[in-house]
């Protein structure tokens, strides 16, 4: 087990304690570009996240593994919170905003669900929506009286607050 400092961090990488793993630039030595850190590739990126280097954090589709919808790994929050692999892959197949009459098509839609700290309840998942509607629905969730009839109908799909 690694030693913790008085700040509750790993002692060797605590800036406040002057840990031996901190470089003159105030970064972890292994991740500092200027110091030529061991975790930095020849392209100046973190090795695990570099596509050109074939980093371990990159999937077969050329995306970060933790965010690839085709691999069924949409943010580990989905997996930690009871979504099945098939549900996650189904979510990843959606390419058009599911808000009524929205025509936005994108490979990076937002998942419309209620966040309770770090937890996502699959029963409160409503669909994939564009960036603009994601912001709009957060307002409607707080103030449902402001939603027009189409938005109100969409919001009834899977109500956020379940009893």
Q: What is the pLDDT tens value at each position of the chain, 163 positions in all?
A: 677 888 888 888 888 888 899 999 999 999 999 999 999 999 999 999 898 988 888 888 888 876 676 665 555 555 555 566 677 666 666 677 777 777 777 766 767 766 555 566 666 677 778 877 777 877 877 788 888 888 888 777 654 543 3
CA distances from 123 to 78, 82, 131, 152, 162 (A): 12, 10, 22, 18, 8
Structure tokens at 152: 């109100």
Q: Give, as one character, the DSSP assignment of residue 104.
A: -
Chain mean position to CA 43: 24
Q: What is the pTM of this model?
A: 0.43
Cα Rg, the chain, nearest whole Å: 21
Structure tokens at 45: 């990126």
């Amino acid at each position: 087990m690694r030693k913790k400092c008085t700040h509750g961090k790993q002692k060797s990488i605590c800036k406040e304690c002057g840990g031996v793993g901190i470089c003159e630039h105030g970064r972890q030595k292994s991740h500092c570009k200027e110091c030529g850190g061991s975790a930095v590739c020849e392209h100046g990126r973190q090795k695990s996240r570099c596509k050109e280097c074939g980093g371990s954090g990159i999937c077969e589709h050329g995306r970060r593994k933790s965010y690839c919808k085709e691999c069924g790994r949409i943010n580990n929050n989905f997996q930690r919170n009871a979504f099945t692999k098939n549900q996650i892959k189904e979510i990843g197949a959606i390419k058009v905003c599911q808000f009524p009459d929205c025509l936005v098509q994108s490979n990076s839609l937002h998942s419309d669900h209620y966040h309770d700290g770090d937890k996502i309840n699959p029963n409160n998942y409503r669909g994939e929506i564009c960036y603009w509607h994601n912001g709009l629905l957060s307002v409607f969730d707080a103030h449902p009286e402001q939603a027009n009839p189409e938005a109100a109908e969409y919001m009834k799909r899977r109500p956020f607050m379940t009893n």
